Amino acid sequence: MSVMYKSATMALLRAISSTPARLKEQHPDMVAFLNAQGNPEAQGTGNKATDQEGAFAKLAQTHGFRFWPKGTPPPAEDGLYMCYQIQGTQKSGDFSLRKVIGGAVRADIVVDLKHTTSKSFYLNDGWFEDNVYYIISWNEGTKGKPLQRAHIALGQDIPTEEEKVFMRQLQAFKAQTNKDNKVVGSLRPYIRFANQYSCATFTREKESDCLLRVLANVDVVATEGGDEATTA
């Protein structure tokens, strides 16, 4: 393979980390392409693609990842591919970055994009998932001169131990409550979360440490998939 999965993935993540403003670039053609899963005749995905997703897909494309439409067989041609909303619109993972050899997926990384114009972002009804690559972008600085930031981290490396313990308790409460809830008349109650997470925790030191952990994980995934092992 002319372009190895590891080097392409690392280069993509480093490009975002070093120049977060790339995720603010406008690519309306790519947004439309994602909405249609690459098929102009398609009805489109459940949720409309965002500008950030379009920018990420365009950047992944420039690093050698071709589009693999959801619900189609593995590509016959060996290479690097990206899938969009492969797990549906309500689950973690906006993109999957994959290496295909001989019609089989040999390496796969799930990327979840988060963006906020404030200082916190929504986790919807979920929580950070282990081994998912989160790319969280936000603005800091003055209103007139905003500075784009991006924090790239594995899900397990973002929350503190205190936060993990609290969320395990909260998730257990939600699960048990929803299990025990009974229908009241025509009402079927169900608890969902609308948690927010502050970007204030993402210091430059933590940003550097988390990126190194991400690159080390890329090395493991790529090596298991058949790429040569080198240091991150």
Task: Report if residue 137 sits inside a domain.
Answer: yes
Task: Report if residue 169 sits inside a domain.
Answer: no
Task: Report if residue 59 sits inside a domain.
Answer: yes
Report the number of distinct structural domains present in the chain: 1
* C-beta of residue 86 within 8 angstroms of C-beta of residue 71: no
Contacts of 2 (CB under 8 A, 6+ apart): none
158: left (phi over 0), alpha (psi -120 to 50) or beta: alpha
Domain extent at residue 40: 5-156+197-224
Task: Report if residue 144 sits inside a domain.
Answer: yes
Mean pLDDT by 10 residues, the chain (232 residues): 81 96 94 83 65 96 95 92 77 87 94 92 88 93 73 97 96 94 92 93 96 97 77 46
Give which of 214, 207, 215, 217 is closest to 232, Cα–Cα: 215
Task: Report if residue 184 sits inside a domain.
Answer: no
Contacts of 215 (CB under 8 A, 6+ apart): 10, 13, 14, 232
Task: Report if residue 49 sits inside a domain.
Answer: yes
Instruction: Supply the pLDDT for residue 2.
Output: 42
Task: Report if residue 230 sits inside a domain.
Answer: no
Give the type of residue at 101. I
The three-state secondary structure class of 212 is helix
Task: Report if residue 220 sits inside a domain.
Answer: yes
